[in-house]
Structure 1
Amino acid sequence: MEELIKEYSLGFTMLREAIEGLTDEEMRYKPGPDKWSIHQIIIHVTDSEISSTSRLKKVLAEHEPILNSFDQDAWANNLGYDLLDREQYMLLFKLLRCSMQPILEHLTSEQSKRVGVYEDQGRFTFKQLLEYRVQHVRDHIDQIKRVKKAYQVNQTY
């Protein structure tokens, strides 16, 4: 659990490093009509963090709470992601992760086994939900790398 909490705490730094030095053109490049730009990925990661921070707290505070998913494509398509301030969203992500740190540092092994229930996905322990948060950032950093590569390839033509 200690390594998981450590990587969770590094999520902001990992994201910041993934986008460091990119121009606005690179940040807004879409590798395909139904693909997200790096800008949109950053906004999505933060929106997801808003929802999941609430879920994590619910699992720790309530007895087997019902957890709700959100439609990420609907959010990306209908909330004007291209108009939102990426730096504000990066700061919000950082603040959300920092707000969880004292809770995680005092987490007991019993708390890590507490359960939340998604109606559409079943039961998950707090530890599983935290693992998903860490993996979510990893997955989107990989996606950012793929978009950066696609941009570079596109520039050679």
Structure 2
Amino acid sequence: MERQKPNLLLRVKNLDQTVKFYSDVVGWYSDWKDVNKRIARLNLSNGEPIAIITEKKDLDCSPYLEKIFSEPLPKGKFYIVTKDIENLYLRLKKINQLKVELIIEEGFGQTLFITDPDGYILSLWEELFLPDNEILELYRNGIQMLEDSIRGLNEKDFDLVRAKGKWSIRQTIFHLIDSDITTLHKIKFALAESGRDYIRNPYDPNLWELGTNYRTRKVNKTIMLFRYLREHVLELCEEIPDALNRSVLVNGSSKEEVRNMIKMVAGHARGHIQQIWETRIVHKK
């Protein structure tokens, strides 16, 4: 049986040190290294692999990876879906000098952030239970929440940041809406062709920020698009009796239901809308 290729790549300074860190701390294991110990494959707790490579630029990584893969920026975050986060958090808190943080959003999910030796932030996410009617309500409320969060701001205010190095209100708006847009593609395939295979095409938010010019674009039309997009999905969920149960098989291994997709983007947008309010508080807007 052919091994599944990774669709996530991390560039690190010390291959053996990184492999040992993820093995000892998180419980992942390496099942392969190249003879020169310049690239290794880690198996995650959810069965998916990731590739780790030293920072030398002369090695062609493409034979080891899926055709479409993501590569976090140095010291950037990458997300992995997992289970039993609280027990892992309690264990990791006992490890000296290990930087960990647990954020719980009741009824939505909890995320455990772990900083590795190279500064990457491993973000382990576990879903928490929320009834279907509350999922749809959270998704619907996001429209008004976003519009309320920017009411009274002028064009200059959209460039305010809550702290040095953070995204501006303008950049945050485009990012949260782009996440809805990219997820819509998967939702529509699940609704129209439930059970079909779906090839995940991960996107790098930082590349989208640069490539689509978040910093200077006007936000008004994109805010309108956000409203229409969510109203469209909600209408489909009302028209299709089993809409939330419909699903796709992602990359041939992971079943994702419409309810989970909607819940994910609803919670994602809510988190960024809270950041917009935090920015307004900092600047007393």
Q: Which has the higher contact order (CA 8 A, sep 6+)?
A: 1
- State the TM-score bracket (shorter-chain normalisation): 0.7 to 0.9
Normalized per residue, which structure has more helix? 1
| 1:81 partner SS | coil
Instruction: Select the residue among 160, 163, 174 that pairs with 1:29.
Output: 160
Give me the whole-angstrom Cα distance separating, in 1, the residues matched to 2:270 and 2:245.
21
Q: Which runs of structure 2 are paired with 1:125-140 in the superposition (5 Å)? A: 125-140=257-272
Give me the whole-angstrom Cα distance separating, in 1, the residues matched to 2:185 and 2:283.
35
Aligned residues: 152
TM-score, scaled to structure 2: 0.48
- Cα deviation, residue 111, structure 1: 4.7
Distance 1:64 1:2, change over 3 A: farther
| 1:30 partner SS | coil
Partner in structure 2 of residue 65 of structure 1: 198
- Cα deviation, residue 112, structure 1: 1.8
Normalized per residue, which structure has more strand? 2
- Unaligned 5+ residue runs, structure 1? none
Structure 1 runs of 4+ aligned residues shifted over 4 Å read none
- The one-letter amino acid of 1:130's match is I
- Cα deviation, residue 122, structure 1: 4.3
Partner in structure 2 of residue 143 of structure 1: 275
- Cα deviation, residue 125, structure 1: 2.0
- Unaligned 5+ residue runs, structure 2? 1-131
| 1:67 partner SS | coil
Higher mean displacement: 104-113 or 63-72? 104-113
TM-score, scaled to structure 1: 0.83
1:89 maps to 2:222: yes
Q: Which runs of structure 2 are paired with 1:1-157 in the superposition (5 Å)? A: 1-62=132-193, 63-109=196-242, 111-117=244-250, 122-152=254-284
Distance 1:60 1:25, change over 3 A: same
Which has more radius of gyration?
2
- Cα deviation, residue 109, structure 1: 4.0
- The one-letter amino acid of 1:138's match is R
- The one-letter amino acid of 1:108's match is P
Identity value in percent: 26
Give me the whole-angstrom Cα distance separating, in 2, the residues matched to 1:22 and 1:125.
37
For the 8 Å contact 2:247–2:257, the answer to whether it is kept is yes
- The one-letter amino acid of 1:83's match is T
For the 8 Å contact 1:67–1:116, the answer to whether it is kept is no
| 1:115 partner SS | strand
Aligned alpha-carbon RMSD (Å): 2.4
- Cα deviation, residue 19, structure 1: 1.2
| 2:250 partner SS | strand
